[in-house]
Structure 1
């Protein structure tokens, strides 16, 4: 049947719209911090001071808060004094040297016939006892050094440091509060120089994606796309939604992109390797 010009035009438009709807798929999600860490205290105790506030930018290893460590500092001084004490070791060394010399002398006298075997045996026993006491002194010194290291480690654990370069977004405990093993989190730090966006991509489009591929996304209604990198493509599909979880990494060194806002990905758009 021959179509009229107007009917033909309408049919072409509908056909183009139908084809475009098949190929253009836009999916949405929300941006989120690249890393989010609940910073805990490794030791329980009273929080002595909090050195940052919400919104503070911090660097990895920076001191964020301090748990009261006065008792441990005193214990460390005692342990260091015990490590420095050498009087018992010098006495044991002198006794060992004397017993060794006596044993040598008795053995020479025995060879010359001027000492008995019993005297030599007694000298050997004294030398063995002195050797044992010397070993005990050395072991005690090692234990004191280990105790010093243990206390120093406990002191270090009472320093709450940032695990990453980021921003403090929440303070859970204030100075004067008790930090317990059942509730150790002191604050939350997030990494924002990179953002993450996790999409559910239809199975029909997953074959076009590869790890490391760059794709354009639109963040928070911005009409200018930004480059994102495919970081993870889940090896498992969701049977209910017929989709695959795909994680994108969005560089945000300038900090002009917000976390927690809408991020759109046009799967019909151009892809870049």
Structure 2
């Protein structure tokens, strides 16, 4: 019995010793692993000091095409996405009223020009009669009263002719204005580009008495402008002419390059956060960039190319001193 008890105690002591040795070895190994430095190889690469911001894309050049005359919108010849050239017919407004005005003014002008011939003939006759009376007066073959009457008739004929000429000029001016209104009933593209929006409907009545109603918008998508909103803490680091690049959500890590054009001086306040709009342009020959796309923008404050680089973690350690 004593011998069995002795064997059990000896076994327990041996197990405890083994466990202690294993624990001591594990702690020592962990301590060694913790003390061992992490190693990384220095490499050459590019380094950039960046100011980041979020922006949106807009066409650099665009125009709102509106109506200059009132009336029913009879026909829209384009749709969203249509590519148009400057001078292409975009839409037509009912021109019945404007055409009638032009026809009436033309008829009135023709009547005035016909009267012009009659007034000119009367002036010629009055001129001859005055000359005849003047010659007769020199020969004492007429009276002073008849000469005065001939002179008054001549002045009246000249005045009537001048008045009619003024009426003709006024009618010609009215005709030009009414012909312009008639031409405005057809709306042409003021620039080449892509129709990006249509805000009026065919058959809609347009009223230009208050303001010119916008029918559609044309934009040149070959060059886009990025409008990035930069915080007031970073805006003083930006300078016109500095390089900038950005990515888009669906751009598959493609970097688009540009140059900062300007920073608008008037801020935009959103939820008590002051932001400034920074603008730069980017070519878009393949139309890969679309209006209202979101861009993650990076302004390059400073950069170094093909320089020796190490991980940032290697530059900070205990006491904030660089570690070898």
The answer to whether TM tops 0.5 is: yes
TM-score normalised according to structure 1 size: 0.81
Change (3 A) 1:262 1:172: closer
Determine the structure 1 residue equivalent to 2:67. 41
Give the equivalent residue in structure 1 for 2:312. Answer: none
Equivalent residue, structure 2, for 1:16: none
**2:117 pairs with 1:90:** yes
**Structure 2: distance between partners of 1:38 and 1:201:** 28
Unmatched 5+ residue regions in structure 2? 1-31, 41-46, 304-324
Tell me by how many angstroms 1:180 deviates.
Answer: 1.9
Cα separation, 2, equivalents of 1:55 and 1:176: 21
Alignment partners' CA distance in 2, 1:89 and 1:64: 42
**TM-score where L is the length of structure 2:** 0.70
Count of residue correspondences: 260
Compare 190-199 and 143-152 and name the one that shifted more: 190-199
Is the CA contact (8 Å cut-off) linking 2:243 and 2:299 kept in structure 1?
A: no
Matches within 5 A, 1:234-249: 234-236=264-266, 241=273, 243-249=275-281
TM-aligned CA deviation for residue 164 of structure 1: 2.8
State the partner residue of 2:214.
Answer: 185
Pairwise CA distance, 1:59: 2.4
> Any conservation in 2 of the 1:221–1:262 contact (CA below 8 Å)?
no
Q: Secondary structure at the match of 1:61?
A: coil
Are the equivalent residues in 2 in contact too, given 1:215–1:270 (CA < 8 A)? no
Q: Any idea what the Cα deviations from partners look like across 1:6-57, whole Å, max 9, x if unmatched?
A: 77967x99xxxxxx9x944422222123245442211110111111112111
Alpha-carbon distance change, 65 to 208 in structure 1, aligned in 2, over 3 angstroms: same
Larger Rg: 2
SS at match of 2:265: strand
Partner of 2:287: 255
Q: CA deviation at 1:206?
A: 4.0
2:104 corresponds in structure 1 to 78
After TM superposition, list the pairs within 5 Å mapping 1:50-129 onto structure 2. Answer: 50-85=76-111, 86-129=113-156
